Amino acid sequence: MVQAGVKQVAGNCDLVKIKDANPQRLYEYDLIGLGTPVFRAEPVNVTAFIKDMWSVGGKHAFVFCTHGTIPDLFFHSIVPKLKRRGLVVIGTGDWYADVYLPWHPEPYPTAGHPDEIDLKEAEEFGREMVKRSQRISAGETGLIPPVPPKPPKDPNDTPELRSTIKDTIDDPSIFKYHKELCKYPKCRLCMDNCPVYSIDLSMKPPVVASHCQPHCAFCTLVCPTGALEIDDFIDEQAPKYHHTTEVYAFPILDRAEAEGHFRRLVPKDKIGWDTYFYQVHNKHPNWIIGKGAH
């Protein structure tokens, strides 16, 4: 929808997955938009993509994301990185989206997003970015926004709270690979959908989660046979993450709702306080590409 909005004003706009984009050919474009889902800051593949950008000095760029709670740290982190590559960041946008991490409540408070209202906002955002770029190019440099400030520390984000979570999901040892269940090379879903190319089943022994992104586990969701799993980690950590989400993330959403930034589509009494995603979506695959949770 962002692309649709850009095309309505600019006349053309390419839409390319980041894994297929060439960061050293972006100089061919006048306006560059970078969109990503975020947990808190940008995913590591996005950081690597920005690092490899070349010959983009003076180009206009905008950044947008989908998220389940808070995007502020993302913008504070990514905008300076883009500026260091010479880009002029002319705007940011964010929208709520559902959360499908195995250890989170199902349904999550942001379930139902993005909806039609969000999509229309995204389309308008695309239109606005082109118009703003044109006005800045014409000399209205005052339209260039400042670098987003670092969000204030949330009072609920305490050392005691963080100590309840043993954040080891970036530890390759938590991933279990069951070769006897694997359908490679006929199936490449985990390899093709890993955003950081952390899986290579062509190697002997197979490489699994060599440099994994924390809080992803997408490979385990799309695997059709259960050949990749982190069941032991989920069983151990899910209650701790559940508690942290309840006492940290949910109050942030409550404040956002009170301020008019968050439209709640799932009533509070319907949130999955007693259920986790992995309990509800427990058939392999847990997630079907192009269709969603299964």
For 71-81, how does the pLDDT look when each residue is reduced to its tens digit (9 = 90+)?
888 999 999 99
Domain with CATH 3.40.50.360 in the chain: 1-154+239-294
Q: Give the Cα separation of 122 and 95 in Å (integer).
A: 8
pTM: 0.90
Q: Which residue carries 């259920």 as its tokens?
A: 275
Confidence of residue 165 (pLDDT cuts 50, 70, 90): low
Kind and range of the H or E element at 92?
A: strand 88-96
Q: What is the mean pLDDT of residues 278-288?
A: 93
CATH domain 1-154+239-294 topology: Rossmann fold (3.40.50)
At residue 124, the pLDDT reads 98
Pairwise CA distance, residues 282 & 169, whole Å: 20
Among the listed ranges 67-71, 187-191, 228-232, which one has the minimum average pLDDT value? 67-71
pLDDT at 163 over 70: no
Report whether pLDDT(167) > 80: no
272 to 77, 168, 278, 286: CA distances (angstroms): 31, 24, 12, 17
As a whole number of angstroms, the distance between CA 56 and CA 98 comes to: 33
Instruction: Return d(Cα 28, Cα 216) in angstroms, integer.
Output: 32
Could you tell me where in the chain the CATH 3.30.70.20 domains are found?
A: 170-229
Q: In degrees to the nearest 10, what's the CA dihedral of 19, 220, 2, 49?
A: -30
Q: Which residue shows structure tokens 């069983």?
A: 235
Tens digit of each residue's pLDDT (9 = 90 or more) over 244-263: 788 888 899 999 999 999 99
Q: Are strands 60-67 and 88-96 parallel, antiparallel or unpaired?
A: parallel
- The residue-averaged pLDDT of 182-193 equals 96
- Mean pLDDT, the chain, rounded, equals 91
The region of weakest confidence among 33-37, 63-67, 234-238 is 234-238
pLDDT for residue 101 is more than 90: no
- 192's enclosing H/E stretch is helix 189-193
**Which pLDDT score is estimated for 142?**
97
Q: Give residue 170's pLDDT band: very low, low, confident or very high (50, 70, 90).
A: low
Architecture of the domain spanning 170-229: 2-Layer Sandwich (3.30)
Instruction: Find the mean pLDDT for residues 132-140.
Output: 98
